[in-house]
Chains A and B, each alone.
Chain A
């Protein structure tokens, strides 16, 4: 009975994984097809990869995508983390008001955010192109950083911070040595979230500016012209990169069960507290 149901369950999960991966695998296979159409198999070929690497526009778009993702996620992480710390220490009324406004881009459909930014950029005469793209990405990234830092801030024990202050640490030092280490996991996951959102975004980039082409915009203009084996090659490369990144991380990260992770986190918190304590002693 039990094994039968688990067979059904595995079958279902397998089927769903097939649904998720079949399109990708098909793209990968066809990226090696020498013929341009899918209608026939023209033999194995790497020519689409050559075409891809010699296509300046794709390479330029890749550069735009990656640099915007890095710059916007780093900037958003700094502004967002500071903002979260600030908002957290505000009175309830202000805190709610800030969070409410901050969540607007999270809730709003992308198209509305994109259009609204276009209006604002054009009113403020922000230079077209890259500057706008970067500002737009920072804008929609910050709220996500705040959302992932906030829960951590709520978990931090204020007593530790106050203890540091009582022991004579300056607020800035206490903040750096006590609060920051505790919220670090939230900060990092916020940064990663911002990075992925930036890489993935199409609609806001498309509406908020013109002149800067990221991968999404470029692929859109190619895909509108129909099936293009160059896109298949690009997808294959993207997929392999992502997959190998994740596998490496998983492999190097070792086997860790949630319980082990929790224990490690506890140990770490104790360590931070100890470090803060010793630091404060030294300061004295």
Chain B
């Protein structure tokens, strides 16, 4: 038996549960509820100004969260990469451990802290400073996102910094570069593929998250994920929700594929598959 036939089970699987479902999304997105004929109405509906506003808000929060993750994650990865190997191994492990807990438990953890009667407010009240509104704000959602996805930023950057040949740094130092020059001229440019893969690993889940905004944002403002969920679980099949929901998903898909194409353009390096372990 030829080795390539080994891929047949997966090829079948892929056809039925990866490719066909994608086609179904497009079918629902481009057909009408009543007659099943081709139409652009769902896409038009999905692009109406109110929904665009939601999209912009989601993008804004995703960008803010990604930038914060980058500014926190890069230094962490950098410091870790310059530590003795054993210590770095333990510390990087420590940054990953929370990831092994359930995603919803990690989000829920912040409800304890940010709630009106949560830890921070109790401290403030004890100090006679009065309460602040933390829960049900966009800030709370950003905190939740940063907390959940920070390790995804640290890992790829750490992996690449750790593999960086010590010689190139030493060479630069020997040539009289200052620490700052070594960083800006050698270390950072070499680490760009890690940064790109970190950015995509944080950015994509953050634009479409919906549990975080529901739990920490108090359903006050919808994010794009909520919009999709709302079409499927509140508007429903009978009211055409599957079609509009599919159109919204389709737009999101196109957007993500554009982002990936841009990222790939910057990063010609190899696939960064199992970076989580």
Contacts and interface: CB of A to CB of B under 8 A. Distances in A.
A142 B15 CA distance: 13
Contacts of B22: 104, 116
Interface in B98-147: 98-113, 115, 117-119, 122, 147
Nearest to A242: B100
Interface residues of B, number: 87
A58 interface: no
Nearest to A22: B113
B11 A39 contact: no
A175 B3 contact: yes
Contacts, number: 253
Contacts of A234: 105
A12 B71 CA distance: 12
Contacts of B225: 109, 111, 203
B6 A227 contact: no
Contacts of B19: 101, 104
A235 B108 contact: yes
B46 interface: no
Interface stretch (B36-44, B49-57, B184-192, B249-257): B249-257
Q: Which of A79, A146, A190 has the most CB of B within 10 A?
A: A79
Contact of A255 (B86, B147, B253): B86
B210 A115 contact: no
B13 interface: yes
B235 interface: no
A120 B20 contact: yes
B94 A17 contact: yes
A132 to B, nearest CB: 11
Nearest to A117: B21
Interface in A172-212: 172, 175, 186, 189-190, 192-193, 196, 199-203, 207
Nearest to B150: A20
Interface centre among A90, A109, A189 (most CB of B within 10 A): A109
B273 A147 contact: yes
Nearest to B274: A148
A109 to B, nearest CB: 4
B246 interface: yes
A119 B112 contact: no
Contacts of B276: 193, 196
Contact of A85 (B3, B90, B101, B104): B3
A257 B86 contact: yes
Given A172-B1, A235-B109, A116 B249 contact: yes
Contact of A83 (B9, B102, B112): B9
A83 B7 contact: yes
Contacts of A37: 117
A243 interface: yes
A21 B113 CA distance: 12
Nearest to A257: B85
B213 interface: no
Q: Is the interface of A mostly helix, strand, loop or mixed?
A: helix
Contacts of B119: 26, 38
B112 A250 contact: no
Given A104-B18, A119-B25, A216-B104, A223 B274 contact: no
Interface in A123-154: 123-124, 135, 138-139, 142, 144, 146-148, 150-151
Contacts of B107: 223
Nearest to B75: A12
A82 B6 contact: yes
Given A39-B122, A238-B102, A107 B256 contact: yes
A112 B253 contact: yes
A38 B20 contact: no
B274 A27 contact: no
A238 B4 CA distance: 41
A223 B104 contact: yes
A85 B6 contact: yes
B93 interface: yes
Contacts of A115: 25, 228, 232, 245-246, 249
Contacts of A226: 111
Given A79-B13, A117-B17, A24 B101 contact: yes
11 contacts: A20-B147, A24-B98, A38-B122, A82-B9, A89-B2, A112-B208, A112-B252, A147-B271, A189-B274, A223-B215, A257-B85
Given A82-B9, A111-B210, A111-B249, 6 more contacts: A113-B21, A146-B10, A193-B274, A200-B103, A215-B102, A223-B104
Interface of B: 1-11, 13-14, 16-22, 24-25, 28, 72, 75-76, 79-80, 85-86, 90-91, 93-95, 97-113, 115, 117-119, 122, 147, 150, 204-205, 207-211, 214-215, 225, 228-229, 232, 242, 245-246, 249, 252-253, 256-257, 260, 270-271, 273-274, 276-277
